Structure 1
Amino acid sequence: MFNRTQGAGGGAMTFVQLIDCKTSRFDEMNRLMDTWVEQTRGKRTATHNLIGKDRSDATHFIEIVEFPSYEEAMRNSNLPETDKIFQEMVALCDEMPTFTDLDVVRDEQLYAANIRRFFETLAVKGELPPLNGLMVEDYHDHDPANEQDTIGLDAMRREIGMWRGAFDFTFTIDDQIAQGDRVSTRWTWNGVHNGDFMGIPATGQQVTMTGTTVFRCEEGGKIVEGWWQYDRLGLMAQLGALDALEG
């Protein structure tokens, strides 16, 4: 947040700065940071800010600030508000803070990667692979199309099997946002109707559907709970199930 970036930077890769400081006046520093956020509204270029406290030393804090690029970090550093607040921050520190400038060379959202593997697994041809590496045994699924929630890995396998028995399909991940223990995925599903689905015999029809799923993950990365929203009505229309009603 209070970056003092120096020297020449690299290309347009994501840039992160670590600020290591010791202070016994963190509450005052926290209020100072709130002031900086307010004063630089619409000007600052930082995209993510995280502060951690050392479990073994209550006066030791590390701030992690992310920018779209080194150049954007320089713009942030050159704001007059940043310079002023930085001087006040130093006064609150027990000693001079240190700064480490990092170009991000790998950024893997581990929960999000596990969710991508889940969607890939659903569409695997042949027998459905085991899911216990991706989901907990007491997984809890919320699907508005089902009268009751699907609870447990065995029940989820049966639910997935119903879809796999009716369609050959693939998922395309359109967007993914991870925050805390939750991953939101916006997806497009494309399939061929080659088996009975909700009483509708196979039509050979190519169908498509969009939806969004929010998954909650445990610390180890396995999926604990899921909430689905998708265009099932649009799917049924493509299968001709609404023609009789419209008639």
Structure 2
Amino acid sequence: MVAKDRSDASHVVEIVEFPSYEEAVRNSKLPETDRIFREMTALCDGTPTFTDLDVVRDARLNTDSARRFFEAVAHDDDLSAMAGLVEEHYHDHDPANEQDLIGLDHFRREMDVWRDGFDFAFRIEDQIAEDDRVCTRWSWEGVHRADFLGIPATGEKATMTGTTVFRFGANGKIVEGWWQYDRLGLLARLGALEPTEF
């Protein structure tokens, strides 16, 4: 990857990624690497500088964090793990709620409504990451074991599909989320909606 400094067009940075640190060290000792170094140096006005970098945040890490979020919501005994994944001032957009939820504590309470009502699990179908966003297409399956939104436990197995887009902050935590899922279909399967005749 080659990048140019927006404020100084003469400052060009080239990033070369290797599968491992050991591979990078092996590459630096090759004769052709020395030849390329000399050719690049000849193109520079001054002496080029080299920096040995470790990747600390990229789209793949955000994707892993999004996956861990769905695992934690369904399987952790409590939601304390959310503090490591979700920012305190998290902003949640869910069309099923009249108002957006602001703050990790409010979001935890919302998740507890689902966790109290169902034994459930998410299955990740697809994930796409770009810049600070991760879009996850998921399937959900749960058993209705207790009251959920005023609907007494049915013991029924229910499924639904949905998509969630998370925005990540500079510290790698989720700061905003947008949810789309088949909540009406879920309520119908629980017998909370009258069937519609056409």
Sort the TM-score into its range (normalised by shorter chain).
0.7 to 0.9
Specify which of 22, 26, 43 is matched with residue 95 of structure 1: 43
CA distance in 2, matches of 1:166, 1:139: 23
> Quick check: 1:156 aligned with 2:107?
yes
1:197 corresponds in structure 2 to 148
Deviations 1:164-207 (A, max 9, x none): 00001101110101111111110001100001111110001001
Structure 1 residues 1-247: aligned runs within 5 Å = 51-53=2-4, 58-62=9-13, 95=43, 109-242=60-193, 244=194, 246=196
Cα displacement string for residues 37-88 of structure 1 (whole angstroms, at most 9, x for unaligned residues): xxxxxxxxxxxxx5412589732435679xxxxxxxxxxxxxxxxxxxxxxx
SS at match of 2:116: helix
Matched to 2:101, the amino acid is T
Residue identity in the other structure for 1:167: F
Deviates more, 1:56-65 or 1:182-191: 56-65
Q: How many residues get paired?
A: 160
Change (3 A) 1:125 1:223: closer
TM value normalised by structure 2: 0.72
2:184 and 2:115 map into 1 onto residues whose CA distance is 19
CA RMSD of aligned residues (A): 2.6
Q: Output the CA distance in 1 between the equivalents of 2:156 and 2:2.
A: 53
Alpha-carbon distance between aligned partners in 1 of 2:87 and 2:124, rounded to the nearest angstrom: 23
C-alpha distance in structure 2 between counterparts of 1:133 and 1:145, whole Å: 26
TM-score, with length taken from structure 1: 0.59
- How big is the shift at 1:245? 5.1
SS class of match (2:140) = strand
Contiguous gaps of at least 5 residues in structure 2:
17-41, 45-57
SS at match of 2:110: helix
User: Matches of 2:76 and 2:143 in 1, distance apart?
Assistant: 13
